[in-house]
Amino acid sequence: MLYGRAPLPEIHEITPEEPRADGQPGDRELVEKAQKGDGAAFAMLVERHQRQLYRLALRMTGSEADAQEVLQEAFLNAYQKLPLFRGEAQFSSWLYRIAANSALMRLRRKRRAPDALADQPLELAGPKFSAEGYLEPTSSSDWSQRADERMMSGQLGAAINKAVDELPEDYRTVFLLKDVDGLSNEDIATALDLTIPAVKSRLHRARLALREKLGEFFDEPAK
Amino acid sequence: MTAEIHHCKECVDLLGEYIEGTLPPDRAKALEDHLSLCPPCITFVRTYKATRKLCHHALVRDMPRELMHSLSSFLAERVPGFKRSEDETVAAPAADSEPKKV
């Protein structure tokens, strides 16, 4: 993994909390109760956030077993650090950062990883343009109408898995967290210690590369 | 004064922000003007969106129930007063919906 381990966000002052549409207590209310020793309130926070944290851990580690351990470690760590949480950042963002750090530490124990993304050579496919900046015909075949028909195809699923696996790790993680798991750019940036423009850039380039791969798949005759 | 988009490359470069609705209005208007005159870019937008949809459909994963139970047990042993949820299927926002803001 190629992300730098990041410090937890600085916390200064409390801003008002938006009421939840489902009428349940907001995160901040639950955090305040949990800080006073209310284990049931902490359990509600866990139940509320465990799915997204699981997806983050799974995407970063690539392993179900590691994701499980990251989740345990992250929630326990969050509970122990709860007295330090003052509410400047959203609780979910704070939690993502804790989980991301836990995932990184686990990865580093397994293999040595570079500390920065910047030096990584990048070879991602993308559309082809003429010298004047117009799309080449090979980049504009419309397979989108056939996509729905073949949505359930096992071959398509395999092609997608292969294409995503071939993305550079840092691009793959951002893509999965955003377009598959539905995290916001802000939460991804917080968790992975990236700037929002960096998240957007990696996301776009990953989509372009995947679009090329899917174009190749749809251009092949169905087997 | 809105700067026009003359070339497909510029259109493609702006696409990510355009489909997420985060492109400034003048740039979005310029991009739409380009699309109205450029069938290859319309096709490109369709396949770009389809890429997201297909990948989401193929790769979305929800947290296994066994893992929820094991996490709950783990924390119940370590956090005083932690109550195991009776129904851990009460869903938080699910990941099996389409990507938002498309």
Number of residues in chain B? 102
Indicate whether A35 and A78 sit together in one domain.
yes
Domain-embedded: residue A126: no
Indicate whether A87 and A153 sit together in one domain.
no
pLDDT at A169: 87
- Decide if pLDDT at B93 tops 90: no
A206, B55 in Cβ contact below 8 A?
Answer: no
Indicate whether A154 and A210 sit together in one domain.
yes
Say which CATH number the domain at A49 has: 1.10.1740.10
Domain-embedded: residue A160: yes
Domain of A99 in residue numbering reads as: 27-110
Domain-embedded: residue A136: no
Q: Considering only alpha carbons, which residue of chain A is nearest residue B10?
A: A133
Domain-embedded: residue A161: yes
Domain-embedded: residue A125: no
Domain-embedded: residue A191: yes
- Decide if pLDDT at A10 tops 70: no
A74, A57 in Cβ contact below 8 A?
Answer: yes
Distance from C-alpha of B76 to C-alpha of A48, rounded to nearest angstrom: 16
What's the CA angle centered on A99, arms A187 and A41, to 5 degrees? 90
Q: Does B101 touch chain A (CB under 8 A)?
A: no
Q: Which residues of B touch A133 (CB under 8 A)?
A: 6-10
pLDDT, tens digit, 9 for 90 and up, residues A136-174: 877 667 888 877 776 667 888 999 999 999 999 889 999
**Counting Cβ atoms within 10 Å, is residue A132 exposed (0-12), middle (13-18) or buried (19+)?**
exposed
CB pairs under 8 A between A and B: 170
Domain-embedded: residue A13: no
Looking at the 3D structure of chain A, how many domains does it have? 2
| Interface predicted TM-score (ipTM) over 0.85 | no
Q: Does B32 touch chain A (CB under 8 A)?
A: no
B92, A52 in Cβ contact below 8 A?
Answer: yes
pLDDT, tens digit, 9 for 90 and up, residues A188-204: 999 899 999 999 999 99
Domain-embedded: residue A1: no
Say which CATH number the domain at A172 has: 1.10.10.10
Indicate whether A93 and A163 sit together in one domain.
no
A163, B52 in Cβ contact below 8 A?
Answer: no
CA dihedral sign of residues A51, A57, A61, A63: negative
